[in-house]
Structure formats: structure tokens, C-alpha cells
Chain A
Amino acid sequence: AQSVSQHNHHVILSEAASLELGCNYSYGGTVNLFWYVQYPGQHLQLLLKYFSGDPLVKGIKGFEAEFIKSKFSFNLRKPSVQWSDTAEYFCAVRDYKLSFGAGTTVTVRA
């Protein structure tokens, strides 16, 4: 069975700071990896995904993630955050259904 672990429960940053959220997964098959974001009062939205190919994937709003197979990791990064990046971020792995991490709440202070 697959599982996902997110390292940070709550991250607080100032605007323009860099962000990195850790995600490790446990799954023996071909992985499909995702980061979803949930802005306050909104529904889950896809931020980026990795299926195969270039392990560095770019998503919306300046986010990127790097798949490191040897480390079973799929960390999310953004070089300079904005106040509008305040949200909850979920890493997920898919076989047919999604298995989510516990989520990381990111608070960006203006």
C-alpha cells in the first residue's frame, strides 16, 4: 500500500522568502505524484504533477517540484513566496486512487 509523509505541519514565512516543502512516499510501483493546493475557502486545485521524464516539474504560480527516485521524495519549492501563497499544500501519490499526505499549512506574512 502506498503512503505519503509530509515533513512540516505548519510553515510561517515572510514575503519574498524561499519555500521548500518536503514529501516522501512509499510505493513500489510506477509513481504518479501530485501536489495539490487548497487556498482559504476554496477547493483543492492541482499545482503540479509528475508521471515520468524530467524529474524537475514546473507548475502554476511559480512552483516547481523535484522527483528524486533514490530518496522516494517529491519536494515542492518556490524561490520567492507571496502573501497569496498562504494555503494548505498536499502531496499525493496515485495508483488509481490518491493517497494524500497530512498537508502543510503555509502562512506568508506580508
Chain B
Amino acid sequence: GAGVSQSPSNKVTEKGKDVELRCDPISGHTALYWYRQSLGQGLEFLIYFQGNSAPDKSGLPSDRFSAERTGGSVSTLTIQRTQQEDSAVYLCASSQAGSETQYFGPGTRLLVL
């Protein structure tokens, strides 16, 4: 079956521009997570959506980062006024309700020049 998909696979942007990253979770998965993988910081949790509950935004590094999930499915992570330190691979994962196992997408590699 289809796994988690993310787009774009690569994004190059200039410092100060806004970017949007998209995640399509596995169909039927109610939980969705965003993580960031960067040199020196490893894999970090960013934000978590579970069903219709308010998202857990505790991992977002600054107020330039935001995310939404429409219709309980697709999610968009937005980074405003990008900085060079935002360069990283942004990973999305999803899981079924009541399951502890998260399935990861291929990631979006973001490079801020």
C-alpha cells in the first residue's frame, strides 16, 4: 500500500523567503508528526497532530514555524522568513490510532541560501 509521501523532495530558497512543505499520511492514520533532521542536531520532534485535538507544538523552534492539518489528512509545514539554520531534512510520519509505530516519509530536503 502507499506510504507517507512528502513534497517537494528538495527545496532551495533564499534567506527571508517563506516555504511550504507538504505531507500526505498513510490513509486512515489519525496521528501525524513532523520531525527535522539536521547536522549537529540529529532528529528533532517539531509538532504532532492527533485527530481533531489541538496540535502539540512544543517542538517548534520559533514562531516562524507553523503547521496545519486539513480534514484530518494532509498537513502543511510553513516556515516564514527562512534562515540558513533552517536548512535540514523535514520528515513527516504517521501512525494509526492506538499504535505506537510511526511510519516515515522520504523527507523534504530544504536548503536556505
A-side residues, CB < 8 A to B, are 32, 34, 36, 42-46, 49, 51, 90, 92, 94, 96-103
Contacts and interface: CB of A to CB of B under 8 A. Distances in A.
Given A96-B56, A97-B33, A97-B45, A49 B106 contact: no
B101 A44 contact: no
15 contacts: A42-B106, A43-B91, A43-B104, A43-B107, A44-B93, A46-B103, A49-B100, A51-B100, A96-B50, A97-B45, A100-B44, A101-B42, A102-B42, A103-B42, A103-B43
Contact of A94 (B35, B59, B91, B100): B100
A43 B6 CA distance: 11
B104 A97 contact: no
Nearest to A92: B43
Interface of B: 33, 35, 42-45, 48, 50, 56, 59, 91, 93, 100-107
Contact of B48 (A36, A97, A101): A97
Given A96-B48, A97-B56, A49 B33 contact: no
B102 to A, nearest CB: 6
B102 A98 contact: yes
Contacts of A49: 100-101
Contacts of B107: 43
A99 B46 CA distance: 11
Contacts of B106: 42-43
Contacts of A42: 106
